[in-house]
């Protein structure tokens, strides 16, 4: 299944080096110093093409370098990445480097951080890989359609000393809405998707393929599995059938190694989870990985297919922890506090009213008088009119206009200061909420401190949930803050935070 070459530490390399070297000096690699930081040059060409998602038949899609996902970009922490993007699509695009802390001008948000890359044009992105971890890239222009047609790819930044595993594997999860004839359904941005749970598709792929033959493993093998949810909207809740995955990183950032709640690995759109997966099944057996997120719609993602010969009899006893990334620690006592309320969507009025959070809406876009918040006890005429015009979701009463992106900042955060954002989801739906340019700690959910104070860049809010995040706003510029259900984003669920 893995089209992606394994990194330096393959099982074979591991065995060879273990045999050869008692000193265990496998990785003579040091973090590059800024003066000598190695430059990695990559080219990405966005163009229409055809892919084989399932056999038989091909599907017309939009691709980076002819494949979906695009090439796995891999470099080491401390290196510098330069990506030359050629736009061979018939429309404008950009590339956003999801989860990376980079200079604002490299963030890939059309109109806000750069001019969109026109058809036939080129843009060069260049930035340092500050954090090690599992990240990804995708357009930020008409995201629902451009991502939904296949434009996305993994971006892996390796630790200076990779964690010891037998195999380092990336599964980029895609979700396609295909017609009976196997073509991509053209109903992008339809009202139903926007007002409900987004464009949930009907064909889930791993690295751009359905995998009917299964994923080959060996008893005793330890895999670092990097899961990336590249779906427009689908949320995954993966059950590894008796295996006991250990979460070691979320959204690229190390977390105290722990078993996920109820053994289920949950990823909202755009989220990443790094797992340590010890293959504890019996040689020659099969085990199904099942997605259980949507009740009554469980399905088998893939079979783990055990080879007849074990690699070793029991799971290895190697360390699980990853070294921390250089993130500034927020000071909660000194933090400024900001409230953010999400509202709208189907049944939104009902939920908001239950929660005592009803408010009117205001369209914010180029030339529109954005920013006003009006507290009303029922849907205002304006909100009604907007919902009819396609604005479906509101942040602090404001629905943004995606075509503009050049929005006025909703919040201005003082630079180098700690900030708490207290979010309330006064809607009937889940929302993976993403902040650009920073990682934040999730510090509480519904008033309860979180166990791991996990760093994330995209946090999944459940219906009616309240949660708090905290971070140091150390990256100057205008940054998007939005729902990563791309149809919710298109329906207004985005804002700009200015760090100044």
**Which residues of this protein are in contact with ligand C2O, per CB under 6 A?**
96, 98, 138, 140, 270, 434, 436, 480, 482, 484
| C-alpha gyration radius of the chain | 22
Closest approach of ligand C2O to the CB of residue 270, in Å: 5
Q: Is 199 in the site for Cu ion (CB under 5 A)?
A: no
Instruction: Give 210 or 408: the residue with its C-beta nearer to ligand C2O.
Output: 408
Which region, judged by CB under 5 A, interacts with Cu ion, from 112-120, 243-251, 439-447, 487-495? 487-495
Return the range that interacts with Cu ion (CB under 5 A); candidates 8-16, 162-170, 253-261, 431-439: 431-439
Q: Stretches 89-97, 98-106, 232-240, 428-436: which one binds Cu ion (CB under 5 A)?
A: 428-436
Residue 386 backbone phi and psi in degrees, to 5: -70, -40
Using CB under 5 A as the binding rule, whether residue 235 contacts Cu ion is answered as no
Using CB atoms within 10 Å of the CB of residue 24, give its burial: 0 to 12 exposed, 13 to 18 middle, 19+ buried. exposed
Residue 387 CA to residue 377 CA, distance in Å, equals 17
* Residue whose entry in the numeric block shows the structure tokens 């393959």: 10
Name the residue number minimizing CB distance to ligand C2O.
98
Figure out which of the listed residues 96, 167, 431, 434 binds Cu ion, where binding follows CB under 5 A: 431
In 144-285, DSSP assigns E strands to 153-158, 167-176, 203-206, 215-217, 222-229, 236-239, 246-250, 253-258, 264-267, 272-278
Main-chain dihedrals φ then ψ at residue 251, nearest 5 degrees: 50, 40
Q: Least distance in Å: CB of 165 to ligand C2O?
A: 27
Rule CB under 5 A: is residue 494 a binding residue for Cu ion?
A: no
Q: Which does 142 bind (CB under 5 to 8 A by kind): Cu ion, ligand C2O, none?
A: none
Q: Are 396 and 410 in contact (CB under 8 A)?
A: yes
Query: Minimum Å distance from CB 136 to ligand C2O?
Result: 7
What is the Cα–Cα distance from 246 to 83, expressed in whole angstroms? 33
Q: Which of ligand C2O, Cu ion, none lies near 234, with the C-beta cut-off 5 to 8 A by kind?
A: none
Q: What is the rounded distance in angstroms from the CA atom of residue 256 to the CA atom of residue 319? A: 12
Rounded Cα gap, residues 53 and 68, in angstroms: 9
Q: With CB cut-offs between 5 and 8 Å by kind, which of ligand C2O, Cu ion, none does residue 140 bind? A: ligand C2O
**Residue 243 contact among ligand C2O, Cu ion, none, beta carbon within 5 to 8 Å by kind:** none
CA–CA distance, 167 with 218 (Å, rounded to integer):
11
Shortest reach from residue 493's CB to Cu ion, in Å: 5
Binding to Cu ion by residue 485, rule CB under 5 A? yes
- Least separation in angstroms between residue 5's CB and ligand C2O is 25
192-to-187, 345, 393, 438 alpha-carbon distances in Å: 10, 10, 13, 32
**Out of 483, 486, 495, 496, which residue is the one contacting Cu ion (CB under 5 A)?**
483
Considering the complex, what minimum distance in angstroms separates the CB of residue 189 from ligand C2O? 17
Residue 195, sorted as left (phi over 0), alpha (psi -120 to 50) or beta, turns out to be: alpha
* Residue 483 interacting partner from Cu ion, ligand C2O, none (CB closer than 5 to 8 Å by kind): Cu ion
> CA torsion 438→227→229→186, rounded to 10°?
140
Distance from C-alpha of 305 to C-alpha of 310, rounded to nearest angstrom: 12
**Shortest distance, CB of residue 112 to ligand C2O, whole angstroms?**
10
What's the closest the beta carbon of residue 231 comes to Cu ion, in angstroms? Answer: 13
**Nearer CB in complex with ligand C2O: 270/495:** 270
Task: Give the CA angle between residues 134, 64, 214 to the nearest 5°.
Answer: 60
Look at residues 220, 260, 255 and name the one whose alpha carbon lies nearest to residue 240: 260
For 410-421, give one letter per residue: b (16+ CB within 10 A) or e.
bbebeeeebbbb
Q: Return the one option of ligand C2O, Cu ion, none that residue 482 interacts with (CB less than 5 to 8 A, by type).
A: ligand C2O
| Residue 485's binding partner out of ligand C2O, Cu ion, none, with CB under 5 to 8 Å set by partner kind | Cu ion
Which one of Cu ion, ligand C2O, none is in contact with 149 (Cβ closer than 5 to 8 A by kind)? none
Partner from ligand C2O, Cu ion, none binding residue 98, C-beta < 5-8 Å depending on class: ligand C2O
Question: Which residues bind to Cu ion, rule: CB under 5 A?
Answer: 431, 483, 485, 488
């Amino acid at each position: 299944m893995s089209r992606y070459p394994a990194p330096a530490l393959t099982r074979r390399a591991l065995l060879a080096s273990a045999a050869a070297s008692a000193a265990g000096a496998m990785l003579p690699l040091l973090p590059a110093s800024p003066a000598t930081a190695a430059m990695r040059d990559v080219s990405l060409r966005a163009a229409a093409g055809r892919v084989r998602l399932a056999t038989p038949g091909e599907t017309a899609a939009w691709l980076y370098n002819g494949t979906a996902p695009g090439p796995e970009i891999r470099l080491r922490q401390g290196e510098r990445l330069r990506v030359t993007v050629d736009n061979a699509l018939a429309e404008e695009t950009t590339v956003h480097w999801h989860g990376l802390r980079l200079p604002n001008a490299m963030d890939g948000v059309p109109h806000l951080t750069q001019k969109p890359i026109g058809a036939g044009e080129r843009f060069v992105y260049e930035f340092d890989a500050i954090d090690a971890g599992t990240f990804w890239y995708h357009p930020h222009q008409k995201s629902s359609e451009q991502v939904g047609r296949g434009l996305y790819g993994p971006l892996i930044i390796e630790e200076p000393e990779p964690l010891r595993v037998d195999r380092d594997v990336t599964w980029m999860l895609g979700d396609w809405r295909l017609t009976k004839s196997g073509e991509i359904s053209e109903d992008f941005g339809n009202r139903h998707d926007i007002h409900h749970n987004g464009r949930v598709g009907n064909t889930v792929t791993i690295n751009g393929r359905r995998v009917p033959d299964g994923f080959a493993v060996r008893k005793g093998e330890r895999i670092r599995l990097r899961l990336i949810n590249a779906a427009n909207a689908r949320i995954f809740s993966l059950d590894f059938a008796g295996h006991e995955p250990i979460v070691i990183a979320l959204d690229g950032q190390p977390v105290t190694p722990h078993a996920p709640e109820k053994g289920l690995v949950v990823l909202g759109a755009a989220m990443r989870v790094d797992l340590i997966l010890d293959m504890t099944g019996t040689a020659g057996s099969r085990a199904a990985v099942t997605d259980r997120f949507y009740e009554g719609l469980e399905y088998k993602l893939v079979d783990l297919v055990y080879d007849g010969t074990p690699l070793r009899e029991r799971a290895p006893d190697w360390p699980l922890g990853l070294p921390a990334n250089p993130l500034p620690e927020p000071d909660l006592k000194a933090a400024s506090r900001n409230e953010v309320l999400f509202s709208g969507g189907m049944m939104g009025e009902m939920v908001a009213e239950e929660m005592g959070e009803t408010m009117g809406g205001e369209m914010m876009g180029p030339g529109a008088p954005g920013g006003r918040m009006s507290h009303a006890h029922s849907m205002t005429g304006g909100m009604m009119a907007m919902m009819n015009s396609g604005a479906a979701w509101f942040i602090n009463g404001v629905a943004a206009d995606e075509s503009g992106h050049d929005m006025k900042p909703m919040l201005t955060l003082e630079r180098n200061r700690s900030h708490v954002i207290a979010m309330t989801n006064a809607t009937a739906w889940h929302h993976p909420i993403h902040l650009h340019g920073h990682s934040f700690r999730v510090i509480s959910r519904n008033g309860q401190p979180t166990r791991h104070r996990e760093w994330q860049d995209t946090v999944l809010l459940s219906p009616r949930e309240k949660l708090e995040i905290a971070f140091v706003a150390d990256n100057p510029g205008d940054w998007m803050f939005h729902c990563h259900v791309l149809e919710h984003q298109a329906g207004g669920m985005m804002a700009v935070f200015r760090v100044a």
